[in-house]
């Protein structure tokens, strides 16, 4: 099993156990691949939920650029909802899991079906 496959398995486990979501493995794989090499670096593979600059990065680079959403207060609200769903007590919030949940939240699965 490759490192990426192992990470996807870990992300699927987090989605199921910590978020109460049964993952669509095809979509999770595509979201993970879309994260690029960041998934292999400890610091970049997680979202620092308490850092405003990190939340801003998720908003700008993922929600606006990748998903094509217009900027607005609903973006930060969605990020906060997803982080709450992941659980504030969970120290490691994996970027791929957060992006997966945001993709579902905004019903933007079609972005990954190209």
User: How large is the angle between the packed helices 25-34 and 95-105, nearest 10 degrees?
Assistant: 120
Write down the pLDDT at residue 26.
Answer: 97
Residues 10-50: tens digit of each pLDDT? 999 999 999 999 999 999 999 999 999 999 998 899 999 88
CA distance 92 to 98: 11
Residues 42-93: tens digit of each pLDDT? 889 999 988 999 999 999 999 999 999 999 999 999 999 999 999 988 888 9
Q: Is the pLDDT of residue 114 over 80?
A: no
Q: Rounded to two decimals, what is the model's pTM?
A: 0.95
- Residue 103's pLDDT band, with cuts at 50, 70 and 90, is very high
Residue 27 neighbours by CB distance under 10 Å:
16
CA distance 64 to 18: 26
Q: Of 50, 27, 40, 2, nearest to 99 (Cα)?
A: 27
Instruction: Identify the structural domains of the chain with CATH numbers, from first to last.
Output: 3-112 (1.10.238.120)
């Amino acid at each position: 099993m490759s490192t990426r496959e192992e990470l996807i398995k870990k992300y699927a486990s987090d989605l199921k156990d910590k978020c109460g979501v049964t993952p669509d493995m095809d979509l999770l794989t595509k979201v993970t691949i879309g994260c690029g090499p960041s998934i292999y670096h400890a610091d970049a593979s997680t979202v620092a939920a308490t850092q405003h600059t990190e939340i801003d990065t998720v908003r700008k680079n993922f929600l606006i650029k990748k998903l094509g959403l217009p900027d607005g207060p609903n973006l930060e609200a969605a990020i906060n909802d997803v982080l709450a769903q992941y659980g504030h007590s969970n120290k490691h919030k994996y970027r791929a899991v957060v992006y997966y949940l945001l993709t579902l939240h905004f019903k933007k699965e079609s972005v990954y079906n190209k």
